[in-house]
Amino acid sequence: MRKTTLLNEEQLIKKAVAALLEKLGPIESSRFLALPFSGGRLDSVRRHQRWQEELDKDNFFDQVF
């Protein structure tokens, strides 16, 4: 089993911005970062509950296992 090491927040932000700049360029990266989140934010519990409500358990288990 491979050990996963998470980046600290500063490293994560630097790498993410660098990837955006490389792939999209400075103007499109800026546009992307300024986009509003559509539909507003749901708290994570409510979002998870909605996901579970729509989940087809058998299909999900077939995909995972």
For the chain, give every domain's residue range. Answer: 9-34
> Quick one: pLDDT at residue 24?
95
pLDDT of residue 45: 82
Give pLDDT, residue 42.
63
Summarize pLDDT for 10-63 with one digit per residue, the tens: 999 999 999 999 999 999 999 988 887 666 666 788 888 888 888 888 887 888
pLDDT given for residue 64 in this prediction:
80
Task: Phi first, then psi: give them for residue 38, nearest 5 degrees.
Answer: -75, 140
Alpha-helical (H) ranges within the chain are 9-34, 44-54, 57-64
- Token output for 19: 């990837």
pLDDT at residue 35, as a whole number: 82
pLDDT of residue 23: 96
